[in-house]
Amino acid sequence: MIETAYIPSSGITGKLKRLKARLLERDPLAISPEQLVISITFDDFPKSAVKAGRAELEKRGWRGTWYAAAGFAGTDTHHGRMFDADDLRQLEEAGHEIACHTLNHTDLGQASAEVTRAQTEANREALQQLGLKSGLPAFAYPFGEASPSSKRVLSSRFKTLRGVRPGINRKGDDRNLLKAVGMDGSESGLMKAHAFIDEGMARPGWLIFYAHDIQSSPTEWGCTPDEFAGLLDHIQKSGAKVLPVTPAYRWLTAS
């Protein structure tokens, strides 16, 4: 069963679970960039993001990272029509990075180690069957939900593991649960996204954005094409170095 719409665990239990995931199985980053580095990523991902997101990135000479859950391929969700094999092929041929989710978008904050392994390997195999040629070096937790167990299982399989806790990644932050900022939340959410760019210009680090649908009437997890383009314009004016997740990680750790 593919998990789509989702209500995260709330209350003290949910807060303690997320705190435990943040504190345990950490792999601290050793980065101190003098220039803001930004990665643009897409989760799940809908065709609207392929159409609008790819065009706006490539217009600026940039490439993004696309976290694909193969169970969504060719289906319709609350985000609209989802990616298919042709989208994967075109993105990969254009130099974008295809990265890994779980096959069925499973919440790894609650899954066992065995389910975590099975879901990620099944996703890798399914994407290869769809024609993917690259090695899926990066991973994002569906819904941003992780556990010490899932971090331990995945940390040796992927160069980076990304969550959805907002912030800029700097020295000491966790490679196994990277911070990321959503391009969503209507006007107030987009204002916060813009503010993170300004913060990164004043105090450089690695800022990872993530998007879902990009359409004229977006879901609460999406944005409009104009909002997306406006954020990219702000990034361009900032002078930040823009790279997909894995090239950004390599550049940051080699510096």
Name the DSSP class of 174. Answer: B
- Kindly report the backbone phi and psi dihedral angles of residue 88, in degrees, each rounded to the nearest multiple of 5, phi listed first: -60, -45
Q: Give the pLDDT of residue 7.
A: 58
pTM of the entire structure?
A: 0.94
Q: Is 29:168 a contact under the CB 8 Å cutoff?
A: no
Q: Which two tokens stand for residue 11?
A: 């209350």
Tell me the helix, strand and coil percentages in the chain, rounded to 5: 45, 15, 40
Domains present along the chain, CATH in parentheses: 35-254 (3.20.20.370)
The residue assigned the tokens 């069963």 is 1
Q: Is 153:117 a contact under the CB 8 Å cutoff?
A: yes
Closest to 66 in 3D by CA, of 35, 39, 30, 26: 39
As averages over each run of 10 residues, the pLDDT of the chain (255 residues) reads 57 78 93 97 96 97 98 95 97 98 94 96 97 95 95 97 97 98 91 98 98 95 96 98 98 91
Q: Give the pLDDT of residue 20.
A: 85
